Chain A
Amino acid sequence: MLELAGIEKRFGPTPALQGIDLSFLPRETVALLGASGCGKSTLLRVALGLLVPDRGRVTLDGAPMDARSAPLLRRRFGYVIQDGGLFPHLDARGNVSLMARHLGWEARRIETRLRELTELTRFPSDALERYPAQLSGGQRQRVALMRALALDPEVLLLDEPLGSLDPLVRAELQQDLRRVFRALGKTVLLVTHDVAEAGFFADRIVLLRDGRVVQQGRLDDLLNAPADEYVTRFVRAQRPLVGDPAP
């Protein structure tokens, strides 16, 4: 499905990604896990063609991602970032339907799609006329998710989508997100630094450190068969102090 082969990326003298080889299967949910600055967001942006790697290539169903193909290929991706990245000059409806309108969809088709999306993400449809400034943090992320899903993409990329939310909203949205992932059966790449969140969502966890893949597998693999001492430290450091975060 989505393949990253031999990816290298430097920012000046600093290597951000080194020798990344990853492939993602249809319907698979993968968490990219790691500390800040480990390169996990960079990896997502390379996958989407927002950053051009110094070496290596990205392909979607065999089609290479390059400057010329990027605008078209990107329509097969959905992308959600931490603060939503919503356009403040457009209301929720405008944000979600921006690309569809650009592609010249009929009004009725757009309305139908909006109805499907509001149901899927449990977004109150009467709030579609509100502007980002008038929405709560959780609602903004739901709008961002709707926008990402508007064209029914094959791959969904999420960069710390819950990072800026307070715990209650976060817990609620976690549930809804997992339900959406399962309902849609898309390839999902989710960037997080939260081990529990990674375990909660993902079939497979990819742990990154200094731009390299340290280990990949299920959460149990990371806990029980750590590739090195860093994996253990990273997983341990984030174990919940009380109780079990994943219900």
Chain B
Amino acid sequence: MRLGSRRIGCAVALALGLAGTAHAQPAPRARPRVVVGSKTFTESVILGEIAAALARDAGAEVVHRAGLGGTRVLWDALVAGQIDLYPEYTGTLEYEILAGEGVHGMAALRQALAARGLRMGPPLGFEDGYALGMKAETARRLGIRSISDLRSHRELRFGFTNEFMDRSDGWPALRARYRLPQREVRGLDHDLAYRGLDAGTLDATDLYSTDADIRYYHLTVLQDDLHHFPVYQAVYLYREELAERTPAVIDALEPLAGRIDADAMRTMNARAKLDRVPEAQVAADFLRRELGVADHSIREDRAARLWRYTREHLALVAVSLGVAIALALPLGVVAARRPRLGGLILAVTGILQTIPSLALLVLMIPLLGIGAPPAIAALFLYSLLPIVRNTHAGLRGIPESLRESAEALGLPPRARLLRVELPLASPAILAGVKTAAVINVGTATLGALIGAGGYGQPILTGIRLDDVGLLLEGAVPAALLALLVQAGFAVLERAVVPKGLRLGREE
């Protein structure tokens, strides 16, 4: 696996190099390198930006993998050393990550973390606990103030984040504790839940107590009258090795202890989410005001940003498709020549295609980590089927009389394949590659979920911030790229498909 990942990594580095960037591992140099991660919600991204800005101020070269994924992705990435630091909540550590170990209290947490080579910074000053919220108007009309009041309204529809549905302290425990009777409970994305509340398709959702949206959507936070939800204090988690390597960065985070209260956090969330101020700007403003830290944030204008997304996206598509073609073509040939083995090959590639793309991406994380390599591996697996299937079908579809004519001439098998069979199957093969390419361009947008960048990045951020403009910044180029790929293949067809076959079809 390591070898495989390194190879793909090399391929990526090569492709990125060709695209004119230098994402390859830099040679060791004086400035320490720190990789900060954050989860896919605004508060986490802001806290990530704050840590990144402080580390930069302390002289480090910082990469912030913003909105990398959910808790599990960030935790795994930290443990594996793919990121050095990310913001987390004590409650999440106690009840989700280390659930089952019975770790409670700061001292016990620090001990459990130390056993994994991790450390926890001081609490930042605010708590972001889970809570239930509903539209203020609905709550008033039904006379609901606390979670206990929900018991007498069994017709209410709940929409919870998938994380909340699964957590040991989430919905199952909440339902048991309050003996809630509601049956209509769905799992969905946090931001979609808010919109569901607004549109009236949902009545209640889980939310975080510092959410900017509470005010924006006019929500009432229901009182946790049985004290079910644990306390979630915001902290930074980092690798012990980071403290040894760059103590200055850890020292720089120290002054944050207790400096961000709930109100400050809610205000920052609102600026980012409601006023559409970039998180880096929000973080920089906060640091300048509170700690007098100079603004080192790197700003990209729209064109530079778009160019970066384009490069990242093209690298994902080009590498995964290139490797897929190199493997799928011979597989298709083998499948066509040996019917039994062919059945197996088609079945396996077919099964790969049925794995939901999101699941495939997440499955790749333990094998290849985060970033471009797992995304490329997943896209590669997805691209196999259309090419294998079309190569197989194209070769099998050659009329028996032509295959026999080639044999009757005395051409050996290899020459038959190269001079007759592959040219005859070329329209089908090219169509397969085209299908794979178009699917690939679309699916590559999901790569942003695991930190691979590309056009998915603005789409994800757009969804998170409910910013259609930002969403289109990714969606429109992705659609254009798909069209461009289509057009490119029309040109390629003239070059690849022999003229005699095109004549035949035009008749």
Contacts and interface: CB of A to CB of B under 8 A. Distances in A.
Interface stretch (B220-228, B298-306, B417-425, B481-489): B417-425
B410 A147 contact: no
A74 B408 contact: yes
Contacts of B415: 102
B402 interface: yes
Contacts of B406: 87
Among B401, B406, B408, B411, find the residue whose CB has the most chain A CB atoms closer than 10 A: B408
Contact of A131 (B405, B419, B500): B500
B411 A99 contact: yes
Contacts of A91: 500
A81 B504 CA distance: 20
A44 B507 CA distance: 33
B410 A72 contact: yes
B420 A75 contact: no
B408 A77 contact: yes
A116 B420 CA distance: 25
Interface of B, secondary structure class, is helix
A145 B424 CA distance: 22
A99 B409 contact: yes
Nearest to B424: A89
A128 interface: no
Contacts of B402: 85, 87-88
A72 B415 CA distance: 14
Given A89-B501, A133-B500, A99 B410 contact: yes
A131 B407 contact: no
Contact of A147 (B409, B412, B424): B409
Nearest to A85: B405
A201 interface: no
A5 interface: no
A102 B401 contact: no
Contact of B501 (A79, A88, A99): A88
Nearest to B507: A133
A15 interface: no
B409 A81 contact: no
B404 A85 contact: yes
Given A77-B408, A89-B424, A98 B419 contact: yes
Nearest to B408: A79
A120 interface: no
B420 A81 contact: no
A134 B501 CA distance: 11
B3 interface: no
A102 to B, nearest CB: 5
A86 B410 CA distance: 15
B330 interface: no
B320 to A, nearest CB: 30
Interface in A66-105: 70-75, 77, 79, 81, 83, 85-91, 98-99, 102
Contacts of B409: 74-75, 79, 98-99, 147
A71 B410 contact: yes
A102 B407 CA distance: 13
A81 B500 contact: no
A88 B419 contact: no
B503 A133 contact: yes
B289 interface: no
B501 A83 contact: no
B501 to A, nearest CB: 5
A79 B408 CA distance: 7
A79 B500 contact: no
Interface in B114-132: none
Contacts of A88: 402, 424, 500-501, 504
B499 interface: yes
Nearest to B501: A89
B405 A87 contact: yes
B420 A87 contact: yes
Interface string A168-183: 0000000000000000
A49 to B, nearest CB: 9
Contacts of B411: 71, 98-99, 102
Interface in B485-507: 498-501, 503-504, 507
A197 B333 CA distance: 42
A71 B412 contact: yes
A81 B405 CA distance: 8
A98 B410 CA distance: 11
Nearest to B427: A89
Given A50-B404, A98-B419, A131-B503, A89 B412 contact: no
15 contacts: A71-B410, A71-B412, A81-B404, A81-B405, A85-B401, A85-B404, A85-B405, A87-B405, A88-B402, A88-B500, A89-B498, A89-B499, A98-B411, A99-B411, A102-B411
Given A85-B408, A87-B420, A88-B501, 7 more contacts: A50-B407, A71-B410, A71-B411, A85-B405, A99-B410, A131-B499, A147-B409
Which 6 residue pairs are nearest across A and B when measured between Cβ atoms? A85-B405, A89-B498, A131-B500, A74-B410, A79-B408, A75-B410
Interface of A: 45, 48, 50, 70-75, 77, 79, 81, 83, 85-91, 98-99, 102, 131-134, 147
